[in-house]
Homo-oligomer: A and B are copies of this chain.
Amino acid sequence: MKQIPEEYKSAYTSISSLGEFRLIDHLTKNIPAKRSETIKAIGDDAAVVDLGNGDVEVISTDLLVENVHFDLSYVPLRHLGYKSVVVNISDIVAMNAEPIGITISLAVSSRFSVEALDELYAGIQLACEKYNVDLLGGDTSSINQGMVISVSAIGKGKKDEIVYRNNAKAKDLICVTGDLGAAYAGFLVLDREKAVFLKTPDIQPDLSDYDYAISRQLKPEARLDVIREMKANGVKPNSMIDISDGLASELYHICTQSKKGCNIYANKLPIDWQVGKVAEEFEIGINTFALNGGEDYELLFTVPIEDFQKVKDMKDVHIIGNISEDEHVLQVLLDSGQSVELEAQGWSHFSRP
């Protein structure tokens, strides 16, 4: 019987010293998958389980923690519910699979009312309807402080149509959907206005100049439309991932797992004009938004060069570079002719102050 065991305390190896990705690697390295059904366990957007007859199931899970992943002073609960579902569906889509169901577990403090949770579930309902997924189950619990949402999603697909991160080929075209960096721009604006509000609560900000960026932060969508269109066009990517932690981080995953390098053309990065406006206001380089922004939930994928014409004609798909043989060279080519090395910052929840 003891209070909290000494060796559990962070005076030993702190979690932040590892960072999220290395922490997961470290914790799970002794638990390799052993069952014959398991095609992919940890290490991609979702796990893949063989169902026989050429069918597979994909499973993904995400955790959203108040004041780490969301700030209720500017995120309406309805949007939060919607986004919680969408980010998981995005993981299923990134495997080139169709989402079919989700489970939602919720820990909430007694600070919240039933009416607050009704708002959250209204957003969950909207996302379930939009993406035609069923709410299959869940769990609720009280918690001392704050709110934690855990979502798992399952999807189905054909074994030979699933797309992994680790199969990019040299000369593949690198494509992204939609545009990049706007979700982060929206976050910066909302966070700035929150600070203003805390000082001068009487002034309501006019955010109409940032409406697109804010909507990208508050109400992202999963690109189920794109994987369906690719299928209809006979395009199967060699590799794919969704952009949750920023383009640079996702390129890093694809390249290291595929043992390849990449060339990205800065002037090909699709960026909305509102991101340019926010970049100026915050005096941050615009490429930083596109490369390190995160939370866009667009798709990053690579296709054989033979598919050039097919992807070029797809609305909302942009070719931004190509895969190279040398796995040690992940670079961005600037207009000036200079090249800079990609830095995969991603999000590190554990090392934030």
- Residues of A participating in the B interface, judged by any CB pair closer than 8 Å: 1-5, 7-18, 20, 23-24, 26-28, 30-31, 33-35, 37-38, 41-42, 46-47, 49, 51-53, 55, 57, 59-69, 72-74, 77, 100-101, 103, 105-108, 110-119, 121-122, 124-125, 128, 132-146, 148, 150, 152, 154, 193-194, 196-197, 204-205, 349-350, 352
Q: Which of A8, A100, A115 has the most CB atoms of chain B within a 10 A radius of its CB?
A: A8
A141 CB contacts on chain B under 8 angstroms? 20, 63-65, 68-69, 349
Can you list 29 A-B contacts with CB-CB less than 8 angstroms, sorted by A residue number?
A1-B204, A3-B73, A7-B116, A8-B112, A9-B112, A9-B116, A11-B113, A12-B114, A12-B115, A13-B114, A14-B114, A15-B114, A15-B117, A23-B114, A23-B140, A24-B140, A31-B121, A35-B101, A41-B136, A41-B137, A47-B136, A51-B55, A53-B53, A61-B137, A61-B152, A65-B107, A65-B148, A68-B143, A110-B350
A350 CB contacts on chain B under 8 angstroms? 110, 142
Q: Which of A5, A74, A124, A352 has the most CB atoms of chain B within a 10 A radius of its CB?
A: A5
Q: Which of A60, A124, A139, A193 has the most CB atoms of chain B within a 10 A radius of its CB?
A: A139
- Name A205's closest neighbour in chain B (CB-CB): B1
Assess the A103–B154 pair: CB atoms within 8 A: no
Assess the B1–A47 pair: CB atoms within 8 A: no
Assess the A26–B114 pair: CB atoms within 8 A: yes
Assess the A143–B140 pair: CB atoms within 8 A: no
A63 CB contacts on chain B under 8 angstroms? 105-107, 139-141, 148, 150
- Whether A1 contacts B74 in the complex (CB less than 8 A), given A63-B107, A135-B33, A148-B143, comes out as yes
A110 CB contacts on chain B under 8 angstroms? 10, 14-16, 350
A115 CB contacts on chain B under 8 angstroms? 7-8, 12-13
Nearest chain B CB to A173's CB is how many angstroms away? Answer: 29
A125 CB contacts on chain B under 8 angstroms? 30-31
Nearest chain B CB to A147's CB is how many angstroms away? Answer: 10
- Name A118's closest neighbour in chain B (CB-CB): B27
Assess the B132–A35 pair: CB atoms within 8 A: yes
Kindly list 12 other residue pairs between chains A and B, CB separation below 8 angstroms, not including A15-B110, A103-B152.
A10-B110, A17-B114, A27-B121, A28-B135, A30-B122, A31-B125, A38-B134, A49-B136, A57-B154, A61-B137, A63-B141, A154-B154
A72 CB contacts on chain B under 8 angstroms? 4-5, 8
- Name A149's closest neighbour in chain B (CB-CB): B150
